[in-house]
């Protein structure tokens, strides 16, 4: 069940997604609340699990991972823990989604080079067949939801 968020909660979420390091006094100014009211709102959103964390966005190329790929994995078995363990152990696996359709998983992988990517994909082929797509660019980076879902 989705939490009930008002327009001020949404304004806070939008601002924090833009800049997770914004001072609470500045955040309050942006959303027209006092610093104490802003602090209470943010703490409530954290307590409810709406805000699940704060992270730095890292330029993969500048930290030595210029190759970015999306890999789809067809996983024929039903014992997923060995795959999940590999995903936890390898920091190059940035994101993993369990999906419907022919492919069971879609992974986002960062690699230092093409041979490095090949090594990572080969590790995945122990679990099933893969399809690899290289990422040219990211015209729309992840930004999180900006408004409440529509009432349908």
Domain boundaries, the chain: 7-47, 61-134
Rounded CA gap, 11 and 25, in Å?
A: 14
7-47 and 61-134 in the same fold:
no
Q: What confidence tens digit (pLDDT) does each residue in 53-101 have?
A: 999 899 999 999 999 999 999 988 788 999 999 999 999 999 999 999 9
Phi, psi (rounded to 5 degrees) for 8: -70, -40
Distance of CA 149 to the CA centre of its chain: 19
Q: Which CATH number fits domain 61-134: 3.90.1150.10, 3.30.70.1350, 3.20.20.150, 3.30.70.920?
A: 3.30.70.920
Mean pLDDT of all residues belonging to the chain? 94
3-state helix, strand, coil in the chain (%, to 5): 35, 20, 45
Rounded CA gap, 58 and 91, in Å?
A: 14
pLDDT for 104 beyond 90: yes
CATH code of the domain made up of 7-47 = 1.10.10
Encoding tokens for residue 60? 């993969």
- Whose tokens are 């900006």? That residue is 146
pLDDT for 2 beyond 70: no
pLDDT of 1 reads: 42
């Amino acid at each position: 069940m989705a939490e009930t968020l008002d327009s001020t909660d949404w304004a806070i979420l939008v601002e924090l997604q833009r800049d997770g390091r914004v001072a609470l006094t500045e955040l309050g100014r942006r959303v027209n609340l006092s610093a104490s009211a802003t602090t209470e709102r943010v703490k409530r959103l954290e307590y409810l699990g709406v805000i699940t964390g704060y992270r730095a966005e890292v330029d993969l190329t500048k930290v030595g991972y210029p190759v970015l790929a999306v890999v789809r994995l067809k996983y024929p078995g039903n014992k997923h823990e060995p795959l999940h363990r590999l995903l936890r152990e390898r920091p190059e696996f940035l994101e993993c989604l369990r999906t419907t359709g022919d492919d069971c998983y879609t992974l986002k992988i960062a690699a230092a080079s093409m041979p490095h990517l090949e090594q990572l994909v080969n590790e995945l082929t122990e679990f099933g067949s893969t399809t690899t797509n290289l990422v040219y660019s990211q015209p729309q980076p992840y930004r999180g939801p900006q408004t409440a879902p529509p009432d349908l």
